[in-house]
Amino acid sequence: LKDLMTMSEEWWKFWKVLQPEWHDIHGIKGPLRQSHCEESIRVKDWDELSKCRVNGIVTVVAGLAFWGYLTTGGTCHQKDIWENVVEELKWVLQSMTST
């Protein structure tokens, strides 16, 4: 499913635009890795994502749920990419709730 790969690329672009400046990931191409989820970041400000607006966290979660639904017809690689996104979002949500 070529569209899943396009969705993956576009989702990561969208996600990176939403990130606070201190996360310092704007120059990274493709998916983020575990190295971007450092414990020291947990004390930072996540206000940009916690707002109830078009690009708030609810939009992100809804988009991720839709993408996950689409992966049911995808390859193992496409499912792995989605699972990486789930881990990234899980880390952000945990960080947001611990501040």
> Which string of DSSP letters, residue by residue, matches 35-88?
GG--GGGGGS--HHHHSSSTTSHHHHHHHHHHHHHHGGGS-HHHHHHHHHHHHH
Tens of pLDDT, residue by residue over 1-37, are: 457 888 888 888 888 777 777 776 767 776 666 666 6
Q: What is the pLDDT of residues 59-99, one digit of tens each?
A: 888 889 988 988 888 889 888 888 988 988 888 888 777 75
pLDDT value at position 38?
60
pTM score of the predicted model? 0.71
pLDDT of residue 44: 64
Determine the pLDDT at residue 63.
86
